Chains A and B, each alone.
Chain A
Amino acid sequence: MSEQIIWLTPSTPPDPAVLGGKGVGLVRLIGLEAPVPSAFVVTTGAYLDHIRRTGLDERIVAISSGAESVEEQARASQEIEELFLSTPLSPELADGLREAYGRYDDAPVAVRSSATAEDTAEASFAGQQESYLWVRGGDSVVEHVAKVWASLFTPQAIAYRVKNGVDVREVSMAVVVQEMVESSVAGVMLTLNPTTGDASEIYVEATYGLGLGLVSGEVTPDSFGVDRVTLGFRSRAVGSKEKAYRLDPEADEVVLRIVSDEDRAVACVTDDEALAIARMGKSVDERLGSRQDIEWALGPGEPGVRELFLLQTRPETVWSNRVATKRARGATPVDRILAMMQTPMRLHD
C-alpha cells in the first residue's frame, strides 16, 4: 500500500495524481522557501483505499448512477455524505491522522480538498469541494477528512458525471491539512491583470479576516494593481468589505461579522503591505516560470508589521491558455509610425 499521509517538504515529489492540485501548489511554494504554513496531505491513495475497502465505491455508483432529476441528485448527494460520515476510516489512517495532527499541539488547522483535476471542466463543475477552517483536535480532523471526501459528490458534480458518463471510481481526491493562520487580512492575487491579461501587472485583492468571503463573492475587496517592473501602484481601490470571516475565540469557531463603517472606509492593508504582497507574487511567478493565482494572508498584529503567508498557488489558466493573437506590425519603425499616425483617436465610444 502506498503512503497515505505525506508531510509536504521541499523534496516531496510534486505529483498531482497523489497530492492533488493544492498539494502540488504547496510543495512548489515550500520548494521556493516561501512563507507557507506547514501542511500534510491525505493522499488520493488513502481515499481510494477507503472507498474500496469499505465498499463505498459500489454503493456510490448504485446511489448516483440513476439520479437523473435535480431532486434525485440532491437526495443522492445527501445520502452519499451520510455514508461517508458513518463509515469509519481504517484504524491505520485514523491513527495516522491523529498522530500527524499531534505535531500541531492542538492548534487549529484548515482541512481542504485537493482535487486531482482542478483545472479541467470536471473541476469547474464539481470543483466546489469544501474547505473547513479552524478545525481543532485529532478526532475532529478525522471527521473533517471524511466530510471533504463527501464533498466530491455535490448535486452538481453528480449531475455532471451522469451527463458525461464519468465513472465515479475513476474520480479521486486528496485532502490538505494545513496549519491555520489567524489572519487579520487575507486575499488573493494574480500575477497578471485579470481584465486585460497584462503580464506586467500584479493584481492584489484584500479583505478583512479570513479569505473565505472573497472567494465566495460575499464581499467587495480592496484592490491594488502593482506594476511588476517598477513596483509602483497602477491602481488602488477601496472596496466596501461589508463583512468579514473572523474567529470567535469563545465559540472557537469561524463566524461572519459586520465590518465597522470606519474600517470599511479605509484600505485593509497599508501600501507597504500591498507592495510586499505583490513583490512576493512576482518572485513566485518568476521562479515558477508562469503566471500564478495565489492565496495569501497576513497574520495578527498591527497594520504594517503583520507577517505575510502564502496559503496556495496554482497556475493562472484564463489568460495563460489563450492563444496570443498575432498583431500585424510594420517591418520598420517608420512603417509602424505611419500606421500609428493613420489610426485616429476616437472621441466617441
Chain B
Amino acid sequence: MRHDHREFRDPVLGDDAEGAEGWERMYPAYMRFSPENRDDEDATLWFWDSMHHMEALPPFDMISHEAWGVGLGEFNSRIFPVPPAYGIDQRILNGYLYIRPVAVSDVEWIGERARLFAERATYYYENWDDLFEKWKEKMEAVIREVEALEIPDLPRLEDEKIVTGATGVSSGHLLIGAYDKLIESIFLAYQYHFEMLNLAYAAYLNLLTFCKESFPGIKDETIVQMVAGNEILFFRPDDEIKALARLAIELGIHEELTDGADDPQATIARLAGTPEGDQWIARLEAAKEPWFNFSGGTGLYHHERSWVDDLTVPWVALTGYIGKLLAGESIDRPTQEILARRERVTSEYRNLLPNDEERVIFDQNVDLARLVDPYVEDHNFYIENWFHTIFWNKMRDVGDRLVTGGFIEDREDVFMLNRWEVGQALFEMVFGWATGARKRHTPWKAEISDRKRILAALRGWTPPPALGPIPDEISEPFTVLLWGITTDRIKVWLGDGDDDPDALRGVPASPGVREGTARVIRDASQLSEVVQDEILVCPITAPAWGAIFNKIQAAVSDIGGIMSHAAIVSREYGLPAVVGTGNGTTKIKTGDRIRVDGDTGLVTILERA
C-alpha cells in the first residue's frame, strides 16, 4: 500500500470530541489508537463502520463488535482462509467504531491458503443443508442456555440446600460464574454467526461478479431477485401479527385493540377474563416465543428494545393490518408472484448469455447462491434478534444485582461499564459480601454519571467517514460487499461529490419512483407517528419496522446496501427504496415534499416544509 497524495486525517491525533474529555476511560486500551502504535495505525485506511455501529458506543455495547470482530477474523484468517486477507481490525475513536481490513502479503502463503480454502469451502457447500440444520440446533442450544441462566442474589445467609445437597458452592461464586458464562455466550454466538456467513457471502459475491461481467449495467438488487424468495424467518414475526389481526376480527375484539393502541398492556389487561380476550391473548403469548424477540434496531445496542419488551411497535402493525382487513384489502405477501418473478428474471438473463458454456456456469452460480440464501436471511433472526434480546435482558438482571449491592443506581447503568469493568464490580461486590468487611468501592456511581455526560457529547460529534491514507487497492473481498467501500464511495467521502443541498445519492435498492411527504423517524418509538402514504426517512431500519411498510409509499435510509433490511422489505412490498444516502435524516425534514427514485438512487427535495 502506498500513500496517496490525498488522504484523510491521521487516526492517531489524540483529539477529543468537544465536551467529551475522558472518553478513553470507557474502552479498554486495546480498542484505542495510541501513539505507541503510530507506525502501524497511521499507515492504513480506517473507515467508520456506520452500518453496524452508527451511534457512539455505550461502554458495555462494545461487546457486540468485539464479538463479531473476533468471530469474523477467526473464520477468515484461520478456518476458511481467505487467501489474500485476514480479518477486520477495530479501533474506537471518540466512541465510534473504525475498522480496517488486514491483508496477507506473503505470496506463497496466499497460495497455500487458497488450496486449503478450496478444500474446506467445498466440504461446507457440499453439505450445506445438513450443516445448516446442525447450526440451528447449536444456535438454539446457546439461546436456551442463556435463557435458563440464573443470575443469583447474594443472600444474607445461604439456603440450607447448599448444605443438604452438599453442592459446596456459594451464590457469590455462582454469580461470577453466571456472568462469565453470559460473556462467553455472546462470543460463542458470534463463532456460529461466522461459521457459515463468510462462505454464504462468498457464494453471493460470486454470482454478483459473474452477472456484472456478463451484464455490466445490471443492478445488484436485480441479482438479489434471482436468489431471494425462499420462505425465510425474517417475515415470520410480521406473519404472526397478520394472524393475530385476522383472529381479532374473527373474535370481534378488533375495535378494543385499535382503540387501545397507545397502551397495549392496559388493553391486554382489559381484554383478559373474557373468553374471546383470553383466546386472543393465548395466541399472542404463543406468537411471542420466539417471534417477538425481534429487535427495534440492529440488535447490537442494548437500548434497541425488542417487541417482547415493548409492544407498541407490533401494535402499530396490528392495528394497521386490522384496518386493511376491514377495508377488504389483502395483507398477504405475494409469495407466489415473487417466486414467479424470480424464475422469469433468472431465465431471461440466462437467455441473454452468449453461449451454453456460460449458461452452465451461470446455473451453477445461481444454484450455489440459492443454496446459501436461507442462511444469509435467517442467521440474523437467530443472533441479532433472538439471541441479543435475551442477552441484553440477562445483563439487566446482572444490573439488578449491582443495584442491590449499591454499586449502581439503575439496572440500565450496567451498560455504562465495559465488560471488564462489570466483572470487576461484580468481583468487588462478591468479595465484600464474602468477607463481610466494607470494601472501598471504586466510585462507579460517580463514574457512570460522568460517562453519561461524555456519551451525550459524543453523540453530537460527527465521525469522519474515514481516517488515514488511501491505499491503491483493497484485497479483502467482504469489505466491498458488506461495507460497500468502493472508489466512488471514497471520492464522495473526500468531498468530490456535488454538494447540492436538495439532492442525495444512495444505493437504488428497490425500483420505482414516488413523490410524497417525508417522515423522519430516528428510532422505533416514533413509528406510531407515521401517517398513511408518507415516505419513511430513517437512519437504518430494523426487522421490527416491517410493520409500517404497509403504511408508507417509499423508504430512504442513511445506511445500508442492497441486502439491508429496508431494501429487502421494500422489494417485498413493491415500494421504491434508496438506502445508504449517508445523511438523509439530516438533510430531509419531516413534512418536506420529496421524490424517491429507486431506479437511480436519487432522492430530491422538491419543496421544503
A contact set with B: CB distance below 8 Å: 193, 196, 198-201, 225, 227-230, 232-236, 271, 324, 327, 329, 332-338, 340-342, 344-349
Task: Decide: A335 and B118 in contact? CB cutoff 8 A.
Answer: yes
Pull 22 A–B residue pairs with CB atoms less than 8 Å apart, ordered by A: A198-B215, A198-B218, A200-B217, A200-B352, A232-B219, A233-B511, A324-B355, A337-B206, A338-B118, A340-B202, A340-B206, A340-B477, A341-B117, A344-B473, A344-B474, A345-B475, A345-B487, A346-B473, A346-B487, A347-B472, A348-B4, A349-B487
Supposing A198-B215, A198-B216, A227-B222 touch, asked if A345 and B473 sit within 8 A by C-beta, the answer is yes
Assess the A227–B218 pair: CB atoms within 8 A.
yes
Nearest opposing residue in chain A for B491, CB measure: A347
Q: Is the CB of B213 within 8 A of A338?
A: no
B83 at the interface (CB under 8 A from A): yes
Chain B residues within an 8 Å CB radius of A271: 513
Given known A232-B511, A347-B490, contact A341–B202 (CB-CB < 8 A): yes
* B355 CB contacts on chain A under 8 angstroms: 324
> How far, in Å, is A101 (CB) from chain B's closest CB?
43
Stretch from B141-149, B360-368, B519-527 contacting the other chain: B360-368
CB pair A334–B474 under 8 Å, yes or no, is no
Q: A229 touching B364 by the CB < 8 A rule?
A: no
| Nearest Cβ on chain B to A341's Cβ, whole angstroms | 5
Residue B600 interfacial (CB < 8 Å): yes
Q: Which of B203, B349, B365 makes the CB contact (< 8 A) with A200?
A: B349
Give B218's nearest chain A residue, CB to CB.
A200
- In contact, B84 and A337 (Cβ under 8 angstroms): no
Q: Which residues of chain A have C-beta atoms less than 8 A from B365's C-beta?
A: 333, 336
Considering the complex, give the chain B residue whose CB is closest to the CB of A200: B215
Contact residue range for chain B? 35 or more
CB distance from A347 to the nearest CB of B (A): 5
| Cβ 8 A contact of B84, one of A198, A201, A344 | A344
Inside 8 A of A236's CB, which chain B residues have their CB?
A: 597, 599-600
B124 to chain A, nearest CB (A): 10
Contacts of A234 in B (CB 8 A): 217, 219, 599-600
Q: Which of B348-395 contact A (CB under 8 A)?
A: 348-349, 352, 354-355, 361, 364-365, 368
Residue of B nearest to A237 (CB): B600
Contact between chains at A344 and B475 (CB < 8 Å): yes
Query: Which residues of B sit under 8 angstroms from A335, Cβ to Cβ?
Result: 118
Q: Which one of A193, A337, A346, A347 lies within 8 Å of B121 (CB-CB)? A: A337
Chain A CB within 8 A of B480 CB? yes
CB distance from A8 to the nearest CB of B (A): 30
Residues of B within 8 A of A340 (CB): 202, 205-206, 209, 477
Tell me the smallest distance from the CB of A339 to a CB of chain B, in Å. Answer: 9
A229, B471: Cβ atoms closer than 8 Å:
no
Q: A232-B222, A336-B361, A337-B206 are in contact. List 4 more A-B contacts (CB 8 A).
A: A200-B218, A229-B352, A334-B117, A347-B487
Contact B206 A228 (CB under 8 A): no
Q: A230 near B203 (CB under 8 angstroms)?
A: no
Q: Known contacts A229-B349, A335-B118; decide if A193 and B487 are in contact (CB<8 Å).
A: no
In the bound assembly, the distance between CA atoms of A327 and B213 in angstroms comes to 9
Say yes or no: A336 contacts B206, CB within 8 Å: yes
B335 within 8 A of A: no
Q: Is B308 an interface residue (CB 8 A)?
A: no
Shortest distance between the CB of B512 and any CB in chain A (Å): 8
Alpha-carbon distance A338/B213, docked complex (angstroms): 16
